[in-house]
Amino acid sequence: MQMTFMAFQLTNFQQESFNTDGFVVTDRLIDAVELPKLHKAFDDVFNGEFETGVRPDEVNWQQGESDPSLTRQICNGWKANRDIARIVLDQSLGKAIAKLSGWSGARIMIDNVIWKPPATKSLGFHQDNAYLSWFDPGEILTCWIALDDTTAEGGTIEFAKSSHRWQLGEAEGEFHAPADYRKPMRKAASRAGVNPEIHYVEVQAGGGSFHHGGTWHGSGANNGLNPRRALVLHAMPSDVKYVPNNFAQGIGPIYSRYKRLGDNTLDENYFPILWREDGYRTPQIDDYLEG
């Protein structure tokens, strides 16, 4: 199936920047024509309207029920809405992630549907790889796609430059609305003996970034006048396996429900392979996207 949006192509310069900084920012990941459809998809899922009839794995905010001062978040919106799925299941994004990481292939772990209206609070700094003890190898790489123009004042995502070179720490601190959203990162920087350099991802809608699973990142409050919506693809190596009986930490208790009895293979129905260097891609993806 041919996607309707641009196929992202990774450059050598972007690869070098990623290796050095632990992230790379790009002005264009999706075409502007996709933005209205994705804005509507965000409206739908946060209002409990799930196009496919399937509820996302994690619904952490709903209109009329949840604290309006908190950042809105849903995980695995791709299962509920095909416009979201067409982006996060894209083959070219999977290939770029695999190439940046040096993997032979990439599959989706989860997506994040993130909406930060004006006056909503921060998201705490963290390292993604600190939450992945339930599969091996426990590493991911993330593609973050801005669906609105982003600014530092508006609470865009922030990276601590080259922090993927610091030691991987334990998961700590609050994620939603911590009093000091950079505190865990500053502690890690102190342990590493460095003065952290913060980079704000300021791009127009449709741009975004890729970041290493060890890169410290978070975002401040939205003190601007406009919403800050982002669609996030967290991908893992295509050949990962479940770690037997190790689902107590991080998101394991949720996604362990997809483990088959007596088998540590991750089921492609729930963790589809986006791209593999031998040409393989989960064949059911196209049928699903066609509805």
Per-residue pLDDT in tens (0 to 9) along the chain, 291 residues: 444 456 788 889 999 999 999 999 999 999 999 999 999 999 999 999 999 999 999 999 999 999 999 999 999 999 999 999 999 999 999 999 999 999 999 999 999 999 999 999 999 999 999 988 889 999 999 999 999 999 999 999 999 999 999 999 888 878 899 999 999 999 999 999 999 999 999 999 999 999 999 999 999 999 999 999 999 999 999 999 998 877 655 567 788 889 998 899 999 999 999 999 999 999 999 999 998
Tokens of 54: 């399937």
Q: Is 169 helix (H, G, I), strand (E, B) or coil?
A: coil
* Alpha carbons 96 and 47: distance in angstroms, whole number: 32
Residues 6+ apart with CB under 8 A from 115: 42, 46, 61, 71, 72, 73, 227, 228, 229
* Alpha carbons 283 and 33: distance in angstroms, whole number: 26
Instruction: Determine the pLDDT at residue 4.
Output: 44
Q: Is 92 helix (H, G, I), strand (E, B) or coil?
A: helix
Q: ∠ CA(244), CA(250), CA(252), 5° rounding?
A: 40
Which of these, 87, 55, 52, 58, lies nearest to 72 by C-alpha position? 58
**Domains of the chain, earliest start first:** 12-290 (2.60.120.620)
Do residues 216 and 172 touch, judged by C-beta distance below 8 A? no
Say which residue the tokens 């700094």 belong to: 125
pTM: 0.95
Q: Which residues pair with 160 in a beta bridge?
A: 198
Which of these, 273, 260, 217, lies nearest to 98 by C-alpha position? 273
* Alpha carbons 208 and 124: distance in angstroms, whole number: 19
Counting beta carbons within 10 angstroms of the beta carbon of residue 243, is it exposed (0 to 12), middle (13 to 18) or buried (19 or more)? middle
